[in-house]
Amino acid sequence: MSRCRILAAACLAACLAPFAAGAESTIKIGFPMPLSGPAAVYGAPVTKGAEMAVQEINAHGGVLGHKLELLERDSKASADEAVRLARELIIKDNVDFLVGTLTSAEAPAVSTIAKENRIVFIAPTSKSVQLTSPKNLHPYLFRLASNTDIEGHSAASIIAGWKEVKRVAIIAPDYAYGRDAVAAFIGYLKKARPDIQIVDQQWPKLGQSDFTPFITAQMGTHPDAIFCDVYGGDFVTFAKQAGPLGYFKAVNNRLVDGGEVGTTDEAQALGADYPYGIWSDAYDPVIWAGDEPPEHKAFIEHLKAFTHEKYGSGWAIMGYSAIVALTDAIKKANSTDSDKVSKSLLGLTFDTPVGKRTFNAKTHETEMGEFWGQMVKGEHYPFAIISNPKYLAVGPFTD
């Protein structure tokens, strides 16, 4: 029966293993975020933004005399992985707060972990309304991002403005984000333009590598305009396959993408393959058309120096602002206790590079909007930029 002895030894090892976690005086923030795969096109710059905020805050002495520490983990845009990481961050690394996750598949899963462990969780980018629906909302969950209702409304208002459009097709990733945004979009569009017909809906998966059959099937229904929610690395693949098939040309570029493909990050990833002329959004247009607020200018300059990149990112603002909001809440609560910080987050107003935002005390959301506009070839930039970006929070888009 010697085998059992090994088993006993293994169990003993399990008991004795990790007592390493020391008693440093840092405030630990767990940060699960997709850093590999198609979603990393957005996840990596969000992380950079968070890193920059941490560096800035620590340079000014930290919070309540403690330095911030960001524990980054690659969630691979998978709900399963995000849950595993979140639990490990809480149980093994003893993080004080969770900030992160990109997709609306990861965020609701991590939210349940935050609730169970009574730890504040700020979701910087997930948009699905299900995340904060009354059934799922709990005291520790806060959303910095916009939501699918706002997105669907904004996109619908753009398409509704095109009088000649009668037939609209939809393509969106088949999970919470795509489904909720599409439901909101259809709801608002039906109200604004009862004469418009939804002729087709395609549901590729997140991380689809071959969109060709989806594209050709959609083109066969002869839409006049398209609402699209394919985003990140997936949109790079999508655009590369759809362009040569004449997909964008067939609708005269009347495609509205609510998945932030208007960010400089997406535009740089696609380069010359970008389908110029489509409409999209970004939390931060980076390249400002009119009077640029000084705090935005300073933010982008600092970001460029921090990342050693020539152009700023349209996503960094979300990681950056999430950390700023959390820090403000810790200061206001004068504590790192999640119960106190979650209370001080209610109704908290904080600065972002594009203006003040407030966590609604009832919905736990900022209900922020985004900058929308048509994507054009920039004069001074080797990639697509939003021409004349308009901030839309409640819509409608008027032009």
Partner 1 sequence: MDVSFLFGQFLGGLTTAMFLFLIASGLSLVFGVMRVLNFAHGSFYMIGAYLAWQAMQWLEPTLHRFWLAALVAALGVALLGAVIERVLLRHLYGREELYQLLFTYALVLILGDAAKAIWGTQQLSVSRPPLLAGGLDILGTTLPTYNLFIMLIGPAIAVAAWLLLTRSNAGRLVRAAALDREMLGALGANVGAIYTGMFVVSSFLAGLAGALVTPIQSIVPGMDVEIIVEAFIVVVIGGLGSFWGTFWGSVIYGQVLSFGILVFPSFSIFSVFALMAVILIVRPWGLFGRPIR
Partner 2 sequence: MRLRGPTLAQRVPWTLVVFLAALSVPFLGSRYDVFLATQIAISALFAVSLNLLLGTTGLVSFGHVAYFGIGSYVCGILMKTYGVPFSLALPAAALGSAGFALVVGFFCVRLIKIYFAMLTLAFSQIVWAICFKWNEVTGGDQGLPDVPYPNLDWIAAIPGFDGLRIGGQFYVLALIVVAISLAAMRRIVASPFGRVLTTIRENPERAAFIGVNVRRYELAAFVVAGGFAGIAGALFGIFNRGVFADYVYWPKSAEVMIMTILGGMQYFWGPVVGAATLVLLNQQITSYTQYWPFVLGVILLVLLFVFPGGIVGGIAVGVARLRRRSWRRLGA
Is 109 a binding residue for partner 2 by CB under 8 A? The answer is: yes
Residue ranges in 252-281 that form contacts with partner 1 under rule CB under 8 A: 269, 271-273
Secondary structure string (H, E, C) spanning the chain:
CHHHHHHHHHHHHHHHCCCCCCCCCCEEEEEEECCCCCCHHHHHHHHHHHHHHHHHHHHCCCECCECEEEEEEECCCCHHHHHHHHHHHHHCCCCCEEECCCCCCHHHHHHHHHHHHCCCEEECCCCCHHHHCCCCCCCCEEECCCCHHHHHHHHHHHHHCCCCCCEEEEECCCCHHHHHHHHHHHHHHHHHCCCCEEEEEECCCCCCCCCHHHHHHHHCCCCCEEEECCCHHHHHHHHHHHCCCCHHHHCCCCEEECCCCCCHHHHHHHHHHCCCCCEEEECCCCCCCCCCCHHHHHHHHHHHHHHCCCCCCCCHHHHHHHHHHHHHHHHHHCCCCHHHHHHHHCCCEEEECCEEEECCCCCCECCCCEEEEEEEECCCCCCEEEEEEEEECCCCCCC
Per CB under 8 A, the list member of 55, 58, 112, 208 interacting with partner 2 is: 112
Supply the minimum distance, in Å, between the C-beta of residue 101 and partner 1.
17
Question: Looking at beta carbons only, is 238 or 274 nearer to partner 2?
Answer: 238
Return the amino acid letter for 293: P
CB-nearer residue toward partner 2: 36 or 334: 36
Q: Does 35 bind partner 1 (CB under 8 A)?
A: yes
* The binder of partner 2 chosen from 1, 23, 59, 272 (CB under 8 A): 1
If one asks whether residue 334 binds partner 1 (CB under 8 A), the answer comes out as no
Q: How far apart are CA 325 and CA 391, in angstroms?
A: 21
CB of 150 to partner 2, least distance (A): 20
Structure tokens at 103: 């997709």
217 binds, among partner 1, partner 2, none (CB under 5 to 8 A by kind): partner 1
Q: Does 219 bind partner 1 (CB under 8 A)?
A: yes
Return the number of the residue (58 or 201) whose C-beta is nearest partner 1.
201
* Site for partner 2 contains 23 (CB under 8 A): no
Q: Does 80 bind partner 1 (CB under 8 A)?
A: no
For residue 44, state whether it binds partner 2 (rule: CB under 8 A): no
Among 12, 298, 305, 361, binds partner 2 (CB under 8 A): 12
Q: How many residues bind partner 2 (CB under 8 A)?
A: 43
* Candidate list 212, 334, 349, 388; residue touching partner 1; CB under 8 A: 212
Residues between 188 and 247 that touch partner 2 (CB under 8 A): 205-206
> How many residues belong to the site for partner 1 (CB under 8 A)?
39
Residue choice 101, 111, 146, 202 for contact with partner 2 (CB under 8 A): 111
Interface residues toward partner 1, by CB under 8 A: 35-38, 40-41, 44, 74, 76, 174, 200-205, 207, 209-210, 212-217, 219-220, 233, 236-237, 240-241, 244-246, 269, 271-273
Interface residues toward partner 2, by CB under 8 A: 1-8, 10-15, 17-19, 74, 78-81, 83-84, 87-88, 91-92, 104-105, 108-109, 111-113, 116, 173-176, 179, 205-206
